[in-house]
Amino acid sequence: MSSVIGQAPIDYHSLASGGRVHGSLYREPAVFQRELREIWNKVWVYVGHESEIPKPGDFLRREIGTQPILMVRGDDAVVRIFFNRCRHRGNLVCNRDRGNTDAIRCPYHAWTYAKDGALIEPTFEEGYADNLTREQFGLTSLPRQDSYRGLLFASLSATGITLKQHLGPVTEFIDLFMDLSPTGGIDLGGGVQKLRYRGNWKLLPENSLEGDYHGPFIHRIAFELHGRRTGLSMSSLYENQVPDVIRSLPGGHMVEDYRGAEMNPPKRTPTPARLAYIAAMEARYGQEKARKLLSTIPPLVFVFPNLIYIMTHIRRVQPVSVDETFVYYHPMLLKGVEPEINEARLREHEFGFGPAGFISPDDIEVMERNQVGVQAQGNDWQYIARGLHRVRQMPDGGTGGYTMDENHLRGMWQHYAHLMNGGAG
């Protein structure tokens, strides 16, 4: 069966069920167009963090699916999200990635909008009939927006579940990486890495949340170097199979939860900055919680469909076409710590995920090889059945698996199929 797309109706559960995923879901343009309609144009999508636009007039240009949007902080400190489209002739009202402005002025015919989206001036207004009222021609707000812990989400659909319902139990794991800050706040305003790979957008969450399995092979050198530098043995993650590390959560979210995996960090004399950090964490969270937060790697988290937290940064996935994806890496700095702590986080980020890092370039190459490989249709099924015989149902409605199991991938694909079949988010 080389392709099933074009046959109607399609039951997407038949293409992604049990331990199998059909290759056409990665390569067929018709599938991508349906994803835009049934997923990206309907569900809650992560669009940024409030720390990226801290001052009135700060703005960010972003996308949801293939639709351009614009986020602006108003004089009232409220962040508003608009479609990035002039109400006159549809030009991009903002073409810069980010900046600060007193007013939003379309470069085509200079229609000008306030930071709250209100139309200030339609140029040469005398040429229009009296039925052009400024109140009716402000920038169009997205139907819904909401936030959690400063993470901004928006939906192109006016109806659907709330953000709280969408996130569900994944908030526990978001809290764990946010709480690395002794004030509970993070800063993504330090810059962004922009990456492009020639592959399907779904390859990135798949690859990002199963590093324990592929890590010993494509990241072997990185793991060895990391161990020499830090004394932490990454080998324990795959040599010792630990239950409930791999988590599938309702809503297609995925987690690698390392709290039960012993990393055996070496005993080292902490620097004054580190001592101050520990003291601040204990003051906020208490000794026991602070010890747990600081003694292991925080869980790796995927919030369906496009937010990923990996150790040093937050990733934002942006589909471009069926075989092209943009990825944005935002190094995550901690508020309330000495500069030395954030400097160390940046160096760690550069080591693994920078342009010359030892991890991300491997992943990008492997995903591009994946996209080439799925063109071979001799046997058109991917196999994601590791741990299927020992999966454990969890109290939150998800499942738990051993360190290198694939139950989280199966959970993501089940939710994907549900949405693609027209199910509610």
Closest residue by Cα to residue 50 from 177, 164, 149 = 149
**Cβ neighbourhood burial of 78 (10 Å; 0-12, 13-18, 19+):** exposed
Cα separations in angstroms, 10 against 4, 17, 313: 8, 14, 37
Q: What is the pTM of this model?
A: 0.94
Residues 95/84, Cβ–Cβ less than 8 Å: no
- Residues with Cβ within 8 Å of residue 273, at least 6 apart in sequence: 337, 338, 339, 340, 341
Q: Identify whether 32 is part of a domain.
A: no
Q: Identify whether 154 is part of a domain.
A: no
Indicate the number of domains in the chain: 2
Residues 107 and 215 occupy one common structural domain: no
Residues 252 and 292 occupy one common structural domain: yes
**Cβ neighbourhood burial of 126 (10 Å; 0-12, 13-18, 19+):** exposed
Q: Tell me, what's the pLDDT at 90?
A: 95
**What phi and psi, each to the nearest 5 degrees, are found at residue 318?**
-130, 105
pLDDT at 239 over 70: no
Q: How confident is the model at residue 104 (pLDDT cuts 50, 70, 90)?
A: very high
Q: Identify whether 12 is part of a domain.
A: no
**Cβ neighbourhood burial of 9 (10 Å; 0-12, 13-18, 19+):** exposed
Q: Identify whether 331 is part of a domain.
A: yes
Residues 223 and 135 occupy one common structural domain: no
Q: Identify whether 14 is part of a domain.
A: no
**Euclidean distance between CA atoms 254 and 206, whole angstroms:** 9
Which whole number is the average pLDDT over 144-173?
Answer: 98
CATH code, 175: 3.90.380.10
Residues 363 and 257 occupy one common structural domain: yes
Closest residue by Cα to residue 316 from 334, 302, 326, 328 = 328
pLDDT at 362 over 90: yes
**Euclidean distance between CA atoms 422 and 38, whole angstroms:** 6
Length of the chain: 425
Q: Which of 148, 180, 200 is the last residue of a domain?
A: 148
Q: Tell me, what's the pLDDT at 238?
A: 60
Upstream peptide bond of 216 is cis (omega within 30 degrees of 0): no
Could you give the residue ranges of the DSSP H alpha helices within 53-100?
Answer: none
pLDDT tens per residue, range 25-60: 999 999 999 999 999 999 999 999 999 999 999 999
Q: Which of 95, 119, 148 is the last residue of a domain?
A: 148
Residues 238 and 355 occupy one common structural domain: yes
Q: Identify whether 24 is part of a domain.
A: no
Q: Residue type at 400?
A: G
Q: Identify whether 131 is part of a domain.
A: yes
Residues 81 and 176 occupy one common structural domain: no
Residues 104 and 252 occupy one common structural domain: no
168 torsion bin: left (phi>0), alpha (psi -120 to 50), beta (else): left
**Euclidean distance between CA atoms 232 and 90, whole angstroms:** 54
CATH code, 130: 2.102.10.10
Q: Tell me, what's the pLDDT at 211?
A: 79
CA torsion sign, 29 to 33 to 39 to 40? positive
Q: Tell me, what's the pLDDT at 137?
A: 93
Residues 166/425, Cβ–Cβ less than 8 Å: yes
Q: Which domain holds residue 272?
A: 168-420
DSSP label at residue 178 = H
Q: Which of 148, 179, 206 is the last residue of a domain?
A: 148
Residues 76 and 211 occupy one common structural domain: no
pLDDT at 2 over 60: no
Residues 137 and 190 occupy one common structural domain: no
**Euclidean distance between CA atoms 176 and 184, whole angstroms:** 10
Residues 221 and 289 occupy one common structural domain: yes
Q: Tell me, what's the pLDDT at 1?
A: 34
Q: Tell me, what's the pLDDT at 236?
A: 58
Residues 174 and 272 occupy one common structural domain: yes
The chain-wide mean pLDDT, for the chain, equals: 92
pLDDT at 373 over 80: yes
Q: Identify whether 412 is part of a domain.
A: yes
Give exposure, 92-108, as e/b (b: 16+ Cβ within 10 Å).
ebbeeebeeeeebbbee
Residues 167/31, Cβ–Cβ less than 8 Å: no
Q: Residue type at 47?
A: V
Residues 138 and 183 occupy one common structural domain: no
Q: How confident is the model at residue 232 (pLDDT cuts 50, 70, 90)?
A: low
Site of tokens 């040469």: 124
